[in-house]
Amino acid sequence: MRRIFVTGIGTEVGKTVIAAILTEALQADYWKPVQSGAIEDSDTETVRALIKNKKSFFHPETYRLPLPLSPHAAAEAAGITIIPENIQLPQTRNHLIIEGAGGLFVPLNEKDLMVDLLPSFGCEVVLVSRNYLGSINHTLLTWEALKNRNLKILGLIFNGEHNPATENFILNYTRLPKLLSVLPEITLTPEIISGYAVQLRDRLENL
């Protein structure tokens, strides 16, 4: 069974949408270990609403923090400390999609970062990039951080407006496979997610 960690080059790059596509593509379970903010309309509930298959199971977050802040700040505001040892992989015999909070170097507490969880997860990483001025730099920095920590990168997914010059440079420089391009959608529906999932499923079968 595959364990895939979804990370982005920053905030608001579309990790949750990509996690939904991966979940649908593999009919996988979904888990977001740390949720900051959006307690009533969490990322878990967003993914649940976007997929069509009945096999996926949605595991509860280890930490649900009310304020939409960095996890360490949201936890402090809630009067708690995030303890990485408490963040244990859920038990499942299915594929598992794990969605991070923010980027790799988002702090969980005063000394631990999101990326510090990955070795214990034993997962592959899907890197989500979004085209904007500066995205090449942010993508390469994230790629290099993963590489320097010997974490396996499954590939890149580009989310948003297509920019061939940017995307081609990133792909040529990193030599990572491009798994998918997700274009802007006025409204996201399970049908749209399912269409992307079919494309991604075919790609994953060859990796």
User: Any residues with CB less than 8 A from the CB of 166 and at least 6 apart, and which?
Assistant: 131, 135, 136
Distance CA 5, CA 153 (A): 9
pLDDT at residue 43, rounded to an integer: 94
Q: What angle do CA 44, 46, 48 make, to 5 degrees?
A: 70
- Single out the residue of 6, 178, 169 nearest to residue 99, CA to CA: 6
pLDDT at residue 206, rounded to an integer: 81
- Tens place of pLDDT for every residue, the chain, 207 residues? 999 999 999 988 999 999 999 999 999 999 999 999 877 789 999 999 999 999 999 999 999 999 999 999 999 999 999 999 999 999 999 999 999 998 999 999 999 999 999 999 999 999 999 999 999 999 999 999 999 999 999 999 999 999 999 999 999 999 999 999 999 988 999 999 999 999 999 899 887
pLDDT at residue 75, rounded to an integer: 96
Known catalytic residues are: 32
pLDDT at residue 171, rounded to an integer: 98
- Single out the residue of 71, 42, 82 nearest to residue 58, CA to CA: 42
Task: Return the CATH number of 3-204, one of 3.30.479.30, 3.40.50.10490, 3.40.50.300, 3.40.50.1220.
Answer: 3.40.50.300
pLDDT at residue 73, rounded to an integer: 97
Distance CA 76, CA 38 (A): 17
What torsion, rounded to 10 degrees, do the Cα atoms 26, 29, 33, 37 define?
Answer: 90
